Amino acid sequence: MSELTTVARPYAKAAFDFAVEAKAVDTWLEMLVFAAEVAQNDTVAGYLNGDKGVEEVKNLFISVCGEQLNDKGQNFIKLLAENQRLLALPEILVQFVELKADYEQEVSVDVTSAQKLKAAEVKTLSAALEKRLARKVKLNCTVDATVVSGLVIKAGDMVIDGSVRGKLNRLATTLQS
């Protein structure tokens, strides 16, 4: 997986830089989402892994994507096909989304609670996280009864476990040491 990430990074960066310059980040995101879905299709993936020529693969992929790609998007797909990197499209999409979030100073935060959070709680939590992370925050709230009480907050590498379950696990670990 890390090899695919390494391969995808320069393509995602180039596409993102071009999209920012052209003021078409959302358009490029839509094109990459569609192209990544096409690349993940079992039939297409089998075709891409086969022994078909670059020209044939390039033409097939562009014809499948059709009107979903503009001229610049088609050129990007041609470049990927010539370098035999079409299978990296899903990872290129992931990298592109990360670059977009970083560019827009936005972070996606997963919040897990034992009960559904009220609108006021979500608003307060969002404001506190925006202040702490110095970014716009997009909350993804889920309910998990095993949390018992409190919250588990995950934002990138940061994890804040304020749940009773987490506290009990830390207490058990401390007592066993």
Task: Choose the final residue of a domain: 82, 102, 122.
Answer: 102
Percentage of the chain exceeding pLDDT 90: 8
The per-residue pLDDT for 50 is 64
129, 76: one domain: no
Quote the CA–CA distance of 174 and 169 in Å, as a whole number.
9
58, 124: one domain: no
Q: Which residue has the higher pLDDT, 174 or 54?
A: 174
DSSP bridge pairs for 137: 107
**Contact call for residues 111 and 160 (beta carbons, < 8 A):** no
12 burial level (CB within 10 Å; 0-12, 13-18, 19+): buried
Task: Choose the final residue of a domain: 77, 102, 127.
Answer: 102
The CA-to-CA distance between both ends of the chain, in Å, stands at: 36
The per-residue pLDDT for 43 is 75
**163, pLDDT greater than 80:** yes
DSSP bridge pairs for 153: 111, 160
How does pLDDT run across 69-105, given as a tens digit for each residue?
Answer: 888 888 888 888 888 888 888 898 998 888 888 887 8
110, 90: one domain: no
CA dihedral 166, 170, 175, 177 (to 10 degrees): 140
83, 22: one domain: yes
Domains identified in the chain, total number: 2
18, 94: one domain: yes
Domain range holding 90?
Answer: 2-102
Residue 132 sits in a domain of what CATH number?
3.40.30
110, 78: one domain: no
**Contact call for residues 125 and 96 (beta carbons, < 8 A):** no
43, 84: one domain: yes
The per-residue pLDDT for 22 is 84
Q: What is the largest CA-CA distance in the chain?
A: 65
Q: How many helices (H) and strands (E) does the chain have?
A: 8, 4
Give the list of residues 6+ apart from residue 145 with CB closer than 8 angstroms, or none: 114
Task: Choose the final residue of a domain: 53, 78, 102.
Answer: 102
97, 141: one domain: no
125, 95: one domain: no
Quote the CA–CA distance of 90 and 67 in Å, as a whole number.
19
The per-residue pLDDT for 51 is 67
Residue 52 sits in a domain of what CATH number?
1.10.520.20
